[in-house]
């Protein structure tokens, strides 16, 4: 049994299991803390610094990021002080200077009364360098197709040697977690392209569904699933079936449906690297 | 020819980086050649050997000639001078007075108190035997007999604090690492010194690597570690070579490896070469870099003594801290803690650079006054110019004005003054320095050297640099100063690592002590020091100009006209404000404004 920790957030007494972060504990109590680089299915990296809170009590009075700071007995957290909000405003304004057209950022900034930025950098894309895409590809998919290069303000999201990625499987997880739409996936006919910062960083020819004939997924992607998902003998893929044909359609055999079911219950366990 | 009646002849040639750059190796060869030529013999020697940096790099190549125990030091020695020194000093027993070090060399050394650097410049860094002859590595045996708890207690009692900048008490760090659960435990040495103008750790590794290694072994015994790493930058090739050699020698003597000193303890040290990222001096970034990942700090709120390298308890100290350890073990905590101030014990090494006469490496007791370092040891400001500020603590330190010259140098005083001890860089600035330009320089360094992970440091520092650029270009307003303070406060509050939180220090300290200079830039549109080109014009004072034509001849833009012995005139349309006329005029006739 995990220990239950008592802490205070914005004056409210809260109980949370040990190991939980302050952000999770606050969300559990429906206390809003803004986030950008945080994603519930990814390990926190604490880099956007929006989820800062003031802490005191059982640790030294300081400002900490709530997505990393774990709950602690006697911890006193303030999420909405003047100091915190001033810092958040400035951080949002700085990010808006980098990505002035990113819709989700514009919305969040507006919430804090920031409607325009004094810090335009002239970047022409929506990336705020939060690193969610890098983390999902590295930690969840296990391919590490995306990475950051350069230091300081020159930091840039790209693929190995800035070439078409040899590791990308075209799964599109990066586009799903991107908070601003700086990474896009585009399917045209049987061609899939992934755009990072408006540059094509991966290209694929899509395999056709053996049932309906519609192009639906890159071969590398399907192969990875075959390789990573545990499939009992006799149930291996012999052909590729698109999600539409999977979903209980009459044309699909029972064996296929059984597999689809299994796929949804099997957890991805992907070793790093 | 043959010399007679000599008991000993020892010639020590400085081969620190400064010595090598000034031709130290050639000087050694010249001495050896010449001594062989005259077929010189003595009961001890003649021995010509390499020694490490002795601090006064401005006088390199420095050579000690010891004949029968009497040591004379020569400065600026060249191959030619070396040959003549052999002929005159060794053969004819007549030291060459005119090439010997002068009063300034003695002044430079008099107020120093050398503990860590005591042997640096005396013994050959490439020979473990010379160190062993000086009781080297004996302190490891002493430490072994003391036992881990006693070692830690001694270090705590001595009051040794981390010399890398943070000033965290080393004994407490060791204790928490020892008590942390997890195995193996790592002993790490930070030799990734990256501050502009700093060469303290480099000089120790180049001049006396065994002292640091001995310290690490003692640390390993205290902490219970079997593996150590030295993270050293690849740009220090001489230091890397000498460290590698020293480690090999220590292994040969069974000071490192399995069952060291015949005990049941094992400890070995590996070298990791850093690729030169300033941020890798930050403890967690250094560890991720050793782990073969990009050197980026971790945002975790966990002490590295609990979870550091590969998630294991790790104790990181820098070169100077480790090098202090054998001295404390040898001479005892009471002796050590008698040096320094109440909270800062022992000595600190500074690299004294910038606008200072005696550029070099100095080791002084904590609590010494800045004035003593700059005027007594450093010999004051060249060309009799006025002192303006001293920048301590590296790029993320602060600039202290003349009113701080009589304050003691220790961790607390520097921190209270808005600067910090840092690893010991000390850049002296004179009246011709523009403080806005200086803070722009240091901030620009931090901007490029930040890892780029977190928003405040990546975007915020870059914006502060942009604001400072606008000020130096004459586009600044008073609002620019407010914006600088606003950004600085946010960056200090919210950055991920210490590089970010300390990056605004140069701007904040100059805004605090030299605000009028910023205001001159934004309100009067003038750069008082005449550095910011857009805000400076040079004119010639007709009454002072003698018409010597020096300025006109030196002007690269042909902007100065005037007949010989007649007052000259600067054509402002052509002038590029390069300052050459100002610096070359001997009569002070060129005015900046």
Q: Who has greater pLDDT, A97 or B7?
A: A97
Residue B487 with chain A: CB contacts under 8 Å: 90
Contact B463 A46 (CB under 8 A): no
Residue B299 with chain A: CB contacts under 8 Å: 44-47, 65, 68
Confidence of residue B4 (pLDDT cuts 50, 70, 90): low
Contact (CB, 8 A) for B232 and B239: yes
Residue B458 with chain A: CB contacts under 8 Å: 129, 152-153, 155
Q: With H, G, I as helix, E, B as strand and everything else as coil, classify residue B51.
A: strand
Strand A52-57 relative to strand A4-9: parallel, antiparallel, unpaired?
unpaired
Which pLDDT value is given to residue A263?
54
Which pLDDT value is given to residue A1?
57
Residue A157, number of CB atoms within 10 A of its CB = 23
**Gap between the Cα atoms of A100 and A122, Å rounded:** 9
Q: Which residue has the tokens 């050997």?
A: B49
Nearest to A194 by CA among A267, A155, A143: A143
Nearest to A203 by CA among A188, A224, A214: A188
**Gap between the Cα atoms of A51 and B241, Å rounded:** 46
Nearest to A186 by CA among B85, A175, B145: A175
Nearest to A171 by CA among A224, A231, A97: A224
B361-402: pLDDT as tens digits: 999 999 999 999 999 999 999 988 999 999 998 888 899 999
**Gap between the Cα atoms of B278 and B264, Å rounded:** 38
**Given CB atoms, is A38 within the 8 Å cutoff of chain B?**
no
Residue from A21, A23, A47 to probe the interface with B (highest B Cβ count within 10 Å): A47
Is pLDDT of B296 > 90?
A: yes
The alpha-carbon gap from B444 to the nearest alpha carbon of chain A, in Å, equals: 10
Strand A75-78 relative to strand A4-9: parallel, antiparallel, unpaired?
parallel
The alpha-carbon gap from A261 to the nearest alpha carbon of chain B, in Å, equals: 38
If you average pLDDT over each of B209-218, B394-403, B558-567, which comes out highest?
Answer: B209-218
Q: With H, G, I as helix, E, B as strand and everything else as coil, classify residue A192.
A: strand
Contact A49 B449 (CB under 8 A): no
Q: What is the mean pLDDT of residues B338-359?
A: 92
The alpha-carbon gap from B378 to the nearest alpha carbon of chain A, in Å, equals: 36
Q: Is A105 left (phi over 0), alpha (psi -120 to 50) or beta?
A: alpha
Which pLDDT value is given to residue A261?
55
Residue from B453, B457, B488, B497 to probe the interface with A (highest A Cβ count within 10 Å): B453
Read off the tokens for B574. Answer: 């052509």
The alpha-carbon gap from B215 to the nearest alpha carbon of chain A, in Å, equals: 32
Strand B227-233 relative to strand B268-274: parallel, antiparallel, unpaired?
parallel
Classify burial at A271, counting beta carbons within 10 Å of its beta carbon; exposed 0-12, middle 13-18, buried 19 or more: exposed
Give the one of A64, A69, A94 whose C-beta lies nearest to B455's C-beta: A94
Contact (CB, 8 A) for A75 and A59: yes
B234-243: pLDDT as tens digits: 999 999 999 9
Residue A50 with chain B: CB contacts under 8 Å: 455
Which residues contact residue B306 at a Cβ distance below 8 angstroms, ignoring those fewer than 6 apart? B176, B180, B182, B313
Residue from B274, B293, B301 to probe the interface with A (highest A Cβ count within 10 Å): B301
- Average pLDDT over chain B reads 91
Contact A97 B463 (CB under 8 A): yes
Give the one of A83, A94, A151 whose C-beta lies nearest to B451's C-beta: A151
Contact (CB, 8 A) for B416 and B404: no
Q: Which of residues 286-325 of B touch A (CB under 8 A)?
A: 294, 299-301
**Gap between the Cα atoms of B128 and B247, Å rounded:** 10
- Dihedral of CA atoms B465, B466, B472, B476 in degrees, nearest 10, equals -120
Contact (CB, 8 A) for A219 and A252: no
**Given CB atoms, is A155 within the 8 Å cutoff of chain B?**
yes
**Given CB atoms, is A146 within the 8 Å cutoff of chain B?**
no
The alpha-carbon gap from B505 to the nearest alpha carbon of chain A, in Å, equals: 18
B149-166: pLDDT as tens digits: 999 999 999 999 999 878
Which pLDDT value is given to residue A271?
41
Confidence of residue B131 (pLDDT cuts 50, 70, 90): very high
Give the one of B448, B452, B454 whose C-beta lies nearest to A49's C-beta: B454
Which pLDDT value is given to residue A267?
44
Beta bridge partners of B429: B389
Confidence of residue B70 (pLDDT cuts 50, 70, 90): confident
Q: Which helix (H) or strand (E) holds A226?
A: helix A219-228
Beta bridge partners of B241: none
Confidence of residue B1 (pLDDT cuts 50, 70, 90): very low
Which pLDDT value is given to residue A132?
95
Confidence of residue B67 (pLDDT cuts 50, 70, 90): confident
Residue from A37, A127, A151 to probe the interface with B (highest B Cβ count within 10 Å): A151
**Gap between the Cα atoms of B102 and B110, Å rounded:** 13
- Ranges of chain A whose pLDDT falls below 50: 251-252, 265-273
The ipTM, to two decimals, is 0.87
Alpha helices in B514-559 (DSSP H): 515-519, 550-554
């Amino acid at each position: 049994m995990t220990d239950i920790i008592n802490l205070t957030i914005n004056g409210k007494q809260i109980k949370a299991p040990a190991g939980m972060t302050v952000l999770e504990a606050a969300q559990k109590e429906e206390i809003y803390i803004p986030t950008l680089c945080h994603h519930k299915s990814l390990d926190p990296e604490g880099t956007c610094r929006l989820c800062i809170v003031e802490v005191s009590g059982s640790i030294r009075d300081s400002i900490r990021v709530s997505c990393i700071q774990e709950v602690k007995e006697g911890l006193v957290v303030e999420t909405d002080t003047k100091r915190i909000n001033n810092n958040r405003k400035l951080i949002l304004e700085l990010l808006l200077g980098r990505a002035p057209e990113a819709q989700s950022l514009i919305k969040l900034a507006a919430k804090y009364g920031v409607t325009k930025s004094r810090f335009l950098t002239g970047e022409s894309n929506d990336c705020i360098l939060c690193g969610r895409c890098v983390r999902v590809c590295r930690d969840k998919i296990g391919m590490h197709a995306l990475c950051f290069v350069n230091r300081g303000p020159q930091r840039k999201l790209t693929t190995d040697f800035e070439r078409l990625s040899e590791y990308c499987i075209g799964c599109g997880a990066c586009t799903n977690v991107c908070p601003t739409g700086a990474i896009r996936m585009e399917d045209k006919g049987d061609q899939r392209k992934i755009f990072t910062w408006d540059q094509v960083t991966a290209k694929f020819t899509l395999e056709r569904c053996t049932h309906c004939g519609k192009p639906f997924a890159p071969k590398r992607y399907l192969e990875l699933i075959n390789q990573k998902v545990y499939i009992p003998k006799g149930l291996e893929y012999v052909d590729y079936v698109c999600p539409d044909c999977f979903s209980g359609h009459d044309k699909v055999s029972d064996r296929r449906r059984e597999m689809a079911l299994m796929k949804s219950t099997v957890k991805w366990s992907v070793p790093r690297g | 020819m043959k010399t007679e009646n000599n008991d000993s002849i020892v010639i020590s040639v400085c081969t620190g980086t400064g010595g090598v750059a000034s031709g130290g190796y050639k000087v050694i060869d010249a001495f050896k050649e010449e001594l062989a030529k005259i077929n010189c013999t003595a009961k001890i020697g003649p021995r010509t050997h390499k020694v490490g940096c002795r601090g006064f790099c401005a006088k390199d190549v420095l050579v000690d000639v010891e004949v029968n125990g009497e040591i004379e030091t020569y400065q600026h020695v060249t191959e030619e001078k070396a040959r003549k020194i052999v002929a005159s000093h060794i053969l004819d027993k007549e030291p060459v007075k005119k090439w010997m070090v002068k009063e300034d060399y003695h002044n430079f050394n008099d107020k120093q108190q050398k503990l860590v650097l005591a042997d640096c410049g005396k013994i050959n860094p490439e020979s473990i035997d010379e160190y062993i002859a000086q009781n080297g590595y004996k302190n490891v045996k002493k430490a072994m007999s003391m036992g881990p708890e006693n070692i830690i207690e001694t270090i705590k009692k001595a009051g040794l604090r981390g010399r890398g900048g943070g000033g965290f008490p080393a004994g407490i760090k060791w204790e928490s690492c020892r008590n942390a659960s997890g195995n193996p435990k790592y002993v790490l040495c930070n030799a990734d010194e990256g501050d502009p103008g700093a060469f303290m750790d480099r000089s120790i590794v180049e001049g006396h690597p065994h002292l640091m290694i001995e310290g690490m072994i003692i640390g390993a015994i205290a902490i219970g570690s079997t593996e150590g790493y030295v993270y050293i930058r690849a740009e220090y090739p001489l230091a890397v070579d000498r460290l590698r050699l020293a480690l090999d020698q220590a292994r040969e003597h069974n000071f490192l490896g399995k069952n060291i000193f015949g005990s049941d303890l094992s400890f070995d040290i590996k070298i990791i070469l850093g690729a030169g990222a300033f941020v890798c001096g930050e403890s967690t970034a250094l560890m991720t870099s050793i782990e073969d990942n990009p050197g980026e700090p971790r945002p975790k709120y966990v002490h590295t003594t609990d979870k550091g390298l590969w998630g294991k308890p790790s104790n990181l100290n820098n070169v100077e801290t480790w090098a202090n350890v054998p001295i404390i073990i040898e001479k005892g905590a009471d002796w050590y803690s008698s040096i320094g101030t109440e909270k800062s014990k022992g000595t600190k090494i500074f690299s004294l650079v910038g606008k200072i006469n005696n550029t070099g490496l100095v080791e002084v007791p904590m609590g010494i006054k800045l004035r003593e370092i700059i005027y007594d040891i450093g010999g004051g400001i060249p060309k009799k110019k006025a002192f303006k500020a001293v920048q301590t603590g590296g790029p993320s330190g602060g600039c202290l004005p003349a009113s701080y010259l009589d304050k003691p140098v220790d961790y607390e005083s520097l921190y209270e003054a808005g600067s910090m001890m840092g690893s010991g860089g000390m850049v002296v600035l004179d009246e011709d320095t523009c403080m806005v330009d200086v803070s722009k320089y240091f901030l620009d360094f931090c901007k490029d050297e930040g890892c780029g992970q977190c928003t405040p440091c990546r975007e915020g520092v870059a914006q502060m640099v942009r604001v400072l650029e606008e000020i130096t270009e004459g586009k600044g307003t008073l609002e620019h100063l407010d914006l600088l303070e606003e950004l600085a406060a946010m960056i200090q509050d919210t950055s991920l690592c210490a590089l970010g939180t300390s990056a605004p220090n140069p701007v904040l300290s100059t805004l605090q002590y030299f605000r009028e200079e910023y205001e001159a830039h934004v309100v009067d549109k003038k750069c008082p020091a005449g550095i910011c080109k857009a805000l400076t014009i040079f004119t010639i004072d007709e009454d002072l100009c003698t018409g010597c034509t020096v300025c006109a001849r030196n002007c690269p833009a042909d902007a100065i006209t005037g007949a010989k012995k007649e007052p000259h005139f600067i054509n402002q349309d052509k002038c590029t404000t390069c300052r050459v006329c100002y610096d070359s005029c001997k009569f002070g006739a060129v005015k900046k404004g």
